[in-house]
């Protein structure tokens, strides 16, 4: 009875508190509003296993069409199709229906499969018009920007952040994770024994799950030992691994925060008319972890493994009354995307409310937050780390100089005895 009353009370409460609730749950409340800007974040397409497991019967690269971790033809086709879909959805945002650098910016992580996915996607999105044709190819070059992995704070999220590492290590030792791992101890043991790889937690399980999954979609017959654990038992643990990197407020803020901050900044600039060039589209080509981290950071992640080409759309609309609303969509199938609602807001969330609801997970100064309490952090190549190293070397030199001067002073006090002794020692 209690289990029934509570949800009913909740629904009634929601009705009382927020009369838009039913409306906003399934659609944009104001269908007269005009779409003005969209940030598009996707995972790369179909790929080969990143690295075969130790006892992998299909671990010989000659069995695969392309090298480890590379985009396959199927992956290229997935993104080409997605690009065509995006073109349809955003055609109104594309002036003169052609490519322009003032219209769109594309950033990819510095990884072959994401760069290739971005290029395949753009081939579909900007299929050349007659005026854009420059050869027999039904293709035109579109620039894709990237940042080296170890400097990429926004997209690959691989730029070293000591504070994050510290928090994540502490989180992995927390009761919640120890209990979880204790519960799955037998599964890890079984997977370690049969795969030959050390499997000690959800992330390792996810790597192995992903290899087995890719082998099945490539029509390889999995070894018999997988029958009792693949896909179901392994999937739930693998899916959980995607929630882990952004489970706490600090983890969200330092991992997903920079991308969220950039997207919100662009939307605010768009509204203020200060986005320069005044672009309409911003594309991010990245990984399953990027998609999961972003969704979890904004509070809409349902535990699952984001499939190939999974896409998040963060759309900005302007109403008839000149108010700006943000809506988040998730397209993780080939069908239409799902409208998501961030906690505490409607599906069409006023831009300022969107930003303030999420302000807790947006870093003010990521670099200093990452290096808080780390005076001499040698893991990062941030400019002030060279400064720290410089300071360390300089102060060491100064100490030596001081010692040298002190000893010289003492030598001067008793010159003959000491000089004689020193000479003596040097001849030894
Ligand atoms: C907005 O929604 C209403 C009710 O669903 C519908 O009658 C109307 O045609 C829609 N307007 C636009 C521009 O789609
Ligand atoms: C992989 O397969 C190729 C072709 O069948 C074979 O020549 C090669 O020896 C194999 N490599 C390993 C490490 O088994
Ligand atoms: C796997 O088999 C199915 C059904 O026979 C086929 O449609 C598909 O193309 C195959 N996939 C690969 C990667 O060979
Ligand atoms: C694996 O399972 C299949 C079907 O259940 C069976 O025919 C085969 O003999 C098994 N192979 C091994 C090595 O146990
Ligand atoms: C798609 O996303 C929804 C919402 O996050 C999730 O519940 C579902 O499991 C996902 N499905 C796939 C195939 O990724």
pLDDT by residue (tens digit) across 155-213? 988 899 999 999 999 999 999 999 999 999 999 999 999 999 999 999 999 999 999 99
Contacts of 223 (CB under 8 A, 6+ apart): 57, 194
Which residues of the chain register pLDDT less than 70? 1-31, 373-391, 412-428
pLDDT at 428: 42
Q: CA-CA distances (angstroms) from residue 64 to 68, 214, 248?
A: 8, 11, 39
* Residue located via tokens 């920079």: 258
Active-site residue, 145 included = no
Candidate from 24, 31, 348 with most ligand 1 atoms within 8 A of CB, to mutate: 31
DSSP states along 46-114 = -B--SS--TT-TT--GGGSSS-TTPBPHHHHHHHHHHHHHHHHHHGGGSGGGS--TTTEEEEEESSHHH
**Contact (Cβ atoms closer than 8 angstroms) between residue 214 and residue 49:** yes
For a mutational test of ligand 2's pocket, the pick from 62, 67, 68, i.e. the residue with the most ligand atoms closer than 8 A to its C-beta, is 62
Cβ pair 265, 355 in contact under 8 A: no
User: What pLDDT, on a 0 to 100 scale, did the predictor assign at position 23?
Assistant: 37
Catalytic residue among 46, 56, 288, 377: 288
Contact 279, 15 (CB under 8 A): no
Ligand 1, atom 8, lies closest to the CA of: 31
CA dist., res. 389 & res. 118, Å (int): 39
3-state secondary structure of 334: coil
Residue written as token pair 């508190």: 17
**Which residue's alpha carbon is nearest to atom 11 within ligand 5?**
332
In three-state secondary structure terms, 318 is strand
Please tell me the residue having the least CA distance from ligand 5 atom 4. 302
CA of 30 relative to ligand 1 center, distance in Å: 9
Q: Is 44 a catalytic residue?
A: yes
Structure tokens of 35? 């779409």
Q: Is 158 in the pocket of ligand 3 (CB under 6 A)?
A: no
Among 118, 157, 165, which Cα is nearest to 289's?
Answer: 157
Burial class of residue 267 (count of CB atoms within 10 Å of its CB; 0-12, 13-18, 19+): buried
Distance 310 CA to ligand 5 centre (A): 9
SS3 230: coil
pLDDT for the residue 112: 98
Signed CA dihedral, 266, 268, 161, 177: sign only: negative
CA 314 to chain centre: 15
With beta carbons less than 8 A apart as the criterion, state whether 295 and 21 touch: no
346, 28 Cβ separation under 8 angstroms: no
């Amino acid at each position: 009875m209690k289990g029934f009353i509570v949800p009913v009370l909740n629904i009634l409460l929601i009705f009382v508190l927020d009369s838009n609730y039913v409306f906003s749950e399934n659609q944009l409340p104001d269908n007269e509003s005009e779409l003005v800007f969209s940030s598009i974040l996707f995972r790369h397409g179909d790929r080969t296993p990143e690295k075969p497991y130790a006892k992998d019967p299909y671990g010989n690269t000659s069995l695969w069409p392309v090298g480890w971790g590379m985009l396959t033809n199927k992956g290229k086709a997935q993104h080409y199709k997605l690009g065509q879909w995006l073109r349809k959805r955003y055609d109104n945002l594309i002036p003169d229906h052609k490519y322009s650098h003032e219209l769109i910016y594309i950033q990819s992580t510095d990884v072959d499969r994401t760069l290739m996915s971005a290029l395949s996607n753009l081939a579909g999105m900007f299929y050349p018009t007659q005026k854009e044709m420059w050869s027999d190819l039904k293709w035109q070059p579109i620039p894709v920007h990237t940042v080296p992995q170890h400097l990429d704070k926004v997209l690959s999220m691989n730029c070293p952040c000591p504070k994050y590492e510290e928090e994540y290590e502490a989180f992995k030792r927390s009761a919640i994770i120890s209990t979880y791992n204790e519960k799955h101890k037998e599964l890890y043991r079984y997977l370690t024994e049969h795969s030959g790889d050390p499997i000690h937690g959800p992330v390792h399980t996810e790597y192995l799950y992903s290899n087995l999954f890719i082998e099945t979609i490539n029509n390889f017959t999995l070894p018999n030992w997988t029958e009792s654990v693949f896909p179901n038992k392994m999937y739930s643990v693998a899916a959980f691994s995607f929630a882990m990197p952004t489970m706490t407020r600090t983890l969200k803020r330092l991992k997903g925060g920079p991308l969220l901050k950039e997207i919100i900044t662009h939307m605010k600039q768009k509204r203020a008319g200060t986005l320069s060039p005044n672009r309409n589209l911003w594309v991010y080509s990245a990984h399953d972890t990027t998609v999961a981290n972003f969704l979890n950071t904004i509070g809409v992640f349902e535990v699952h493994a984001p499939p190939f080409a999974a896409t998040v759309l963060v759309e900005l609309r302007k109403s008839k009354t000149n108010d700006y609303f943000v809506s988040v969509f998730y397209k993780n199938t080939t069908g239409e995307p799902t409208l998501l609602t961030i906690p505490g807001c409607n599906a069409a969330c006023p831009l300022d409310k969107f930003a303030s609801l999420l302000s807790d997970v947006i870093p003010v100064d990521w670099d200093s937050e990452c290096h808080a309490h780390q005076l001499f952090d040698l893991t990062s190549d941030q400019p002030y780390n060279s400064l720290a190293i410089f300071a360390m070397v300089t102060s060491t030199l100064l100490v030596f100089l001081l010692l040298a001067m002190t000893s010289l002073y003492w030598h001067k006090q008793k010159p003959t005895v000491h000089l004689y002794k020193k000479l003596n020692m040097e001849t030894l």
